[in-house]
Structure 1
């Protein structure tokens, strides 16, 4: 994993080119100083990278389900984390790119737990509808508060991520979010709803109390305003007092401002957006379903889907349901069906394995492996998935399906489309539309998704796989070639440690014979194990019994884990001094792939660096 992390960092222009790094469910999202330093072609050739592209003001490297592991490895090898870069490191970008960057940074860290909370809410609704559980039972109570806690206190979670993104103190922002959801604030709102309630004011200004639990826009705006005040205070206040005086001023000024101005205006704006969307949806629900079902995955490719995420959560907060989240279900199932069609049709073993795992991930809402690894490269399956998603979305629009909790479109969403009144036509419409999208995409892909020539070629390749031609491995050392059996050390001469040749060195260095990495380097520096990008494993042993030199006469130029390119100097050694100390300077170059790869010398008395040395048959 460290090797992949280093390759990705190198591909994006090095650590000094990275302004910030975050990740979502399947992709790394880099903000870079200079996009011209990116080597996208090399990144796209890495076997563990599904796709690398510039999108939405970010450079995105799509990894798949292991993205969190790769992210942690990058942070470990570079010292990076997801902290906001210091002022002055921003790059110029358009308004849309900035908006998408802000939204993705604020919402991405919460997606996993939000999806989990929404799924649990949906399962509880399903249990209530089927009378598997009672709403008054302790079991329901505990599971309900677990599912509802994050969404009820959503302003606190968004306060933390927004505070970090805007460059403020995230805990100051969390205090503001806590004020919005404090029991006294909720109590004041409830009291204000009672007839004859006395109005409250702040230094003579009337307070309009609103229930901010589950709200989205108010705390994001409050965190943005607070971050600006923080930066100004930190510049002006003495260092001895700014650590506590800056947060104090933010609480005293921004909290009242949030209740008096920011909150009411943001709530009005949020309600305007929610009602506006519902009005448009009410005019043409089938058209809205077809558009989202067909185009959502296109938006995902370019990272533009983040622009709609706040609207979904805003709908849930203010309306208690969201039609948009339901309409995404056939978009996901369309790509799952297309991937399943590839799995059933292809004869290529690697593609079949990839399609099988990608289809499984897609069922649980992670479609990037399916899109970038299977359907998009083949073109037609991706198109069939989008067309089928549009038809399925049209059906969901006709049924007026909605979700009633935060969702990541997946098989679990079927439990989240159940309204509080129980299963109705909207639920059956969601199921039918999703099955239509998946089934039609699978059928179209199976029949027409892969060209017949490609299927036939894959079958021919499969039949010929057993007759793989040998490939050449180049020499890491300049010297005279000797048979391995002539070596004085029986362990090497017998070939038990690997097949290869012996070389009497005529120069004092070892170079990389291929591109790959240094798997290991002995402490004394006389043994190197290299792994090529194609999987070839090579052991290079300089001298016989030279471990006794304890590093004398050796000078390593690399370390374990380093990436190498053909011709890089790996090790320098003084073969004359070694011979003068009574040591045999013969070097062993062995192929030690697991499974017994056959390596035979290419006939030659003397070999130069990077000249053909061995013919290897897998």
Structure 2
């Protein structure tokens, strides 16, 4: 059955470089997260300008297409049309991508392991929060059958987290998923967990943060386990599955095909399970202890300062996908302490972002912007802020900075209140219930959370309402008719460079010489400074700085591409002096570039200057001069 997202899905697949360029695909709350073999094959600008796509981000080794709240539906259609198996990678494609930096690999791994479960993890946490409200109000008691059955849903998912992460980790690392599940089952098997009730055989590192109890031996090797066992644990199963994936790959190479189907998992588990209990588990526990000690030390040093920093920078981390580095710490704190305080100042950020959007909504007279603000504000109230960030506050700059200021102060208040979150419940307004302690119905964190949210929202709204002003757009000015033809109006564009004129049909890149990107002319520059050819607004700017687009005040869309294939320089030699959304004046410096860097890398410095919407005009006429200086008439548009 056809879906309304079929067209969008086909555009996405085509412009990420086609099916053959996709290594893996996952999604989070608002984004499709591709891992591509070659990101340079993706048409980022086409995707950014496609209806139904908010923006495109490239971070952490992932090519992220931001869709919005309906991303699960788009994801399903993309997978169906593209024949993708989600985040599962085959051995051929997994090894075909470019080598990643360690930080990018870590973020990619964390997001791949935790993304698939976050929505259900939030749902089960929300159920526990609702139960806390029901018992607090006396509508239910923990002895009621209704409470016990619903609590089994809310708490059971978290208890069996090693099993669930065994599956997601296996898909991420290329292990047989059911082998990953078997590892998780072994970690929380009741008789294994019961070992911690035995008499302690030996205590290692007594009195330190690494204190460990030995409860049993395996072939006379000590088995070290945490006091509570491995239920609800995070780090041990992820590391164990990674080790098991390497063991499985080894056996796949040597076991005969006739018995591979059952012997590979058998041999893998026979080695991986003991290694998990005698080596990987203790290493993971040590790592968890270090992380827990470090985060708690940071929090204890100054909860207010820690809250201010987390609140201020949370949305920045979200933009680049770096928040995935903190989520495992949060889940680990829940499993070991029963609550988390370290990350909770983030809670004010989504409300500050939403308040800034509401202020823009109330001040703007732009109908299109109002249309963006309403759904973004609704989405933000439920904790999903990407539509607000990418659609409104970040492009406008000032509202985004103001929202971060509000979130910082709100986060400081939450830090001051030593707020504790007891379950991984929903975001936004539904998140308040997760600050109720289900053990004793303690609601002492709620007033501090509410105060942080209200202050953050009030500051963001008031400052944005006072300081946000829409820049007046210059009206399209009527140009004096040409004497020879009173019905013709002329628009002129000044030369943005000093140099030698090169006719467009002599440019070596067919995309420019064919005129498919617009009519115009090229310049071989003598100096490495690019100036604005007219008054107008910057509408596009490649991160590498090699290409820039603007809408002139008189309606001409101008595209300037510095050099041929200079995207390969990845920004080396380019200094950008403007940003998307900036209003610039004719003759204003837009960017600087090093001609020597371009030439030494073997690239041509020929720079096309195009009118990309030339189809709406009668003609685009280039100057007859062979040389031009900055500010000379370059193009005349009729």
| TM-score, normalised relative to structure 1 | 0.71
| Secondary structure at 1:134 match in 2 | coil
**1:28-427 correspondence to structure 2 within 5 Å:** 28-82=32-86, 83-87=88-92, 88-192=95-199, 200-210=216-226, 211-419=229-437, 420-423=439-442, 425-427=444-446
Distance 1:241 1:397, change over 3 A: same
Distance 1:325 1:413 in 2: 13
Any idea what the Cα deviations from partners look like across 1:552-582, whole Å, max 9, x if unmatched? xxxxxxxxxxxxxxxxxxxxxxxxxxxxxxx
The match for 1:496 is none
Distance 2:215 2:168 in 1: 34
Q: Residue 185 of structure 1 contacts residue 209 of structure 1 at CA under 8 Å; is this kept in 2?
A: no
Shift of 1:189: 2.3
Q: Residue 192 of structure 1 contacts residue 209 of structure 1 at CA under 8 Å; is this kept in 2?
A: no
Shift of 1:452: 5.7
The match for 1:24 is 28
Q: Residue 358 of structure 2 contacts residue 377 of structure 2 at CA under 8 Å; is this kept in 1?
A: yes
The match for 1:429 is 448
Distance 1:30 1:194 in 2: 49
The match for 1:493 is none
Shift of 1:233: 0.5
Q: Residue 340 of structure 1 contacts residue 359 of structure 1 at CA under 8 Å; is this kept in 2?
A: yes
Distance 1:132 1:119 in 2: 17
Q: Residue 292 of structure 1 contacts residue 390 of structure 1 at CA under 8 Å; is this kept in 2?
A: yes
Q: Residue 217 of structure 2 contacts residue 223 of structure 2 at CA under 8 Å; is this kept in 1?
A: yes
Distance 1:124 1:24 in 2: 27
Shift of 1:401: 0.6
**1:541-552 correspondence to structure 2 within 5 Å:** none
The match for 1:499 is none
Distance 1:293 1:56 in 2: 22
Q: Residue 325 of structure 1 contacts residue 403 of structure 1 at CA under 8 Å; is this kept in 2?
A: no
Shift of 1:329: 0.6
| TM-score, normalised relative to structure 2 | 0.69
How much is the aligned-residue C-alpha RMSD, in angstroms? 2.4
Distance 2:384 2:214 in 1: 51
Structure 1 gaps, min length 5: 458-513, 516-609, 613-618
Q: Residue 24 of structure 1 contacts residue 108 of structure 1 at CA under 8 Å; is this kept in 2?
A: yes
The match for 2:470 is 451
Any idea what the Cα deviations from partners look like across 1:149-205, whole Å, max 9, x if unmatched? 11000001111111111111111011000011112122222345799x995322222
Distance 1:257 1:50, change over 3 A: same
Shift of 1:268: 2.3
Shift of 1:110: 0.3
**How many residue pairs were aligned?**
460
Distance 1:427 1:77, change over 3 A: same
| Secondary structure at 2:91 match in 1 | coil
The match for 1:571 is none
Distance 1:343 1:611 in 2: 32
**1:490-501 correspondence to structure 2 within 5 Å:** none
Distance 2:61 2:420 in 1: 32
Distance 2:444 2:6 in 1: 51
Distance 1:4 1:122 in 2: 37
Q: Structure 1 segments of 4 or more deviating over 6 A?
A: none
The match for 1:6 is 10
| Secondary structure at 1:405 match in 2 | coil
